[in-house]
């Protein structure tokens, strides 16, 4: 059976703008490494809410055999300012605020997306969010450690959601392991994208057999 793979997400997949002219994006690596049919719906900058708003993207021209989802990183990025506010006096209040304002609504949105994709009866791969290479930028150095806690909390949501919907999880923190894997503090480089594409293709092949 011919594989039709839908790609949804943000700049982790849609990283063409961040690689050199003579380098490949994640999608180009996928196309170069296989003959599978990839339908590219990922959009740089998208959040979970953006993806929900694009309901038409849930229906493509051909029923997918496989779906790859990498979303949520921008939800974290746009909320990094929360880590530098003086909103709460006590730690318990701080954690409670983070949960109620960021993670509780994020979990609802993520569940909505995955539930929709699971109804397609395609193989479903959920990518975790990596920690980035924030240490290379003065802009992010002050939230380097605390942002890892936020990323871990998001990834906990991803793993729990995958379990509920019989989806598989690709752990990006095990793929993007060095500064060379990033084109900047956030997006994948040519090298990192190649590593990600390889893992996605390996997953497709396992489900193909």
Contact 195, 182 (CB under 8 A): no
Tens of pLDDT along 74-113? 998 887 766 655 554 444 456 667 778 788 999 999 999 9
Residues in the chain where the model's pLDDT stays below 70: 56-61, 81-96, 141, 143-144
Give the chain's domain count.
1
User: Is residue 67 a part of any domain in this protein?
Assistant: no
Radius of gyration (Cα) for the chain, nearest Å?
Answer: 17
User: Is residue 68 a part of any domain in this protein?
Assistant: no
Q: Rounded CA gap, 48 and 33, in Å?
A: 29
User: Is residue 35 a part of any domain in this protein?
Assistant: yes
pLDDT at res. 88: 47
User: Is residue 79 a part of any domain in this protein?
Assistant: yes
Q: Rounded CA gap, 209 and 202, in Å?
A: 11
pLDDT at res. 145: 73
User: Is residue 70 a part of any domain in this protein?
Assistant: no
User: Is residue 69 a part of any domain in this protein?
Assistant: no
Domain of 54, CATH number, reads 3.40.50.1110
Instruction: Give the residue numbers spanning the domain of 157.
Output: 4-61+75-208
Q: Rounded CA gap, 191 and 193, in Å?
A: 5
pLDDT at res. 90: 46
């Amino acid at each position: 059976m011919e594989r039709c793979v839908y790609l949804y997400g943000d700049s982790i997949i849609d990283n063409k703008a961040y690689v050199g002219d003579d380098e490949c994006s994640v999608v180009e690596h996928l196309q170069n490494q296989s003959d599978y049919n990839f339908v590219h719906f990922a959009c740089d900058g998208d959040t979970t809410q953006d993806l929900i708003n694009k309901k038409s993207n849930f229906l493509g021209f051909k029923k997918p055999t496989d779906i790859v989802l990498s979303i949520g990183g921008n939800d974290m990025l746009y909320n990094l300012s929360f880590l530098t506010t003086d909103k709460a006096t006590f730690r318990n209040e701080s954690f409670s605020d983070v949960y109620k304002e960021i993670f509780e609504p994020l979990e609802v949105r993520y569940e909505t997306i995955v539930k929709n994709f699971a109804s397609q009866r395609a193989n479903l791969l959920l990518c975790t969010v990596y920690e980035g290479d924030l240490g290379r930028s003065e802009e992010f150095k002050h939230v380097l450690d605390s942002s890892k806690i936020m990323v871990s909390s998001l990834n906990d949501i991803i793993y729990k959601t995958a379990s509920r919907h019989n989806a598989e999880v690709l752990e990006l923190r095990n793929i993007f392991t060095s500064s060379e894997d990033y084109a900047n503090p956030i997006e994948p480089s040519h090298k990192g994208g190649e590593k990600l594409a390889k893992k996605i293709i390996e997953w497709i092949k396992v489900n193909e057999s």
